[in-house]
Amino acid sequence: MAKLHDYLPYLILLGVFVLLAWLVFLNPVLAADTAVSGFIQDISLPGFDGFMEFISCLGSFPVWIIPPGAAVIWLWCKGCRLQSVICALVPGIAALLGYIFKWLIDRPRPGSLEDGGTSFPSGHTAYALACYGVIFFIIPKFIRRPVLRFIIRLLCLVPVVFMGISRVYLNAHWPSDVLGAYLLSGAVLGIGLTYLKHKLTKGVNHA
């Protein structure tokens, strides 16, 4: 059985997330958020608007469920049941916790958006890290060609890295919403992968 210290880094992430959630609950508008948002929204590069909108679309429903859904089916068909379940559970749990905290914190969005809703944590960012994170760590292990493994990981990194920036750039979220999403999904992803590693190692040792 995996020991508590194996999960400790991710429990710390959860603790920091809860502290951040409490902070934004008490102070919906933070000075640091305003400063960082202004810096990001002042970026002016050719094609940057379209790129940010495209990245943001990757975190929208139902688009965000397609990559992990395909991974779940592919792994299940290969007989990798545990990996398949982890690929389903990590995004699912991250999404559920994100919705719960959105309801609890009830933080207004920074701009007047047509979709409305609450701001903390950023759902798009949480989905991106959870969905593409499990693919980044699990799927390449079943790919023989190094170049293909590299391409898969690179394609996963792009939405993970740029999703948070896109949500702030499009004035959909505060930077602290994005940070909270990375903390929450990072913790869920880490716990899921640690559990998977333990179960697979245990299976090898008992073989």
Among candidates 67, 120, 65, which has minimal Cα distance to 98?
A: 120
Interval 17-44: pLDDT, tens = 999 999 999 998 899 999 999 999 999 8
Neighbour-count burial of 207, counting CB atoms closer than 10 A to its CB (0-12 exposed, 13-18 middle, 19+ buried): exposed
118 pairs with which residues across the strands? Answer: 108
Among candidates 58, 1, 67, 50, which has minimal Cα distance to 206?
A: 1
Measured at the CA of 78, the angle between CA 130 and CA 192, to 5 degrees, comes to 25
State yes or no: pLDDT of 116 exceeds 80: no
Sign of the CA dihedral running 145, 134, 64, 156? negative
Contact criterion met (CB below 8 Å) for 6 and 194: yes
* pLDDT above 70 as % of the chain: 94
| Residue 204, pLDDT score | 44
CA dist 150 and 89 (Å) reads 25
Q: Average pLDDT, stretch 129-151?
A: 93
For the chain, the average pLDDT equals 90
Among candidates 113, 169, 146, which has minimal Cα distance to 178?
A: 169
State yes or no: pLDDT of 168 exceeds 80: yes
Q: How many residues make up the chain in this entry?
A: 207
pTM, full prediction: 0.90
Q: Average pLDDT, stretch 174-202?
A: 93
Measured at the CA of 202, the angle between CA 196 and CA 203, to 5 degrees, comes to 90
Residue listed under structure tokens 């933080």: 107
Confidence class of residue 2 from pLDDT cuts 50, 70 and 90? low
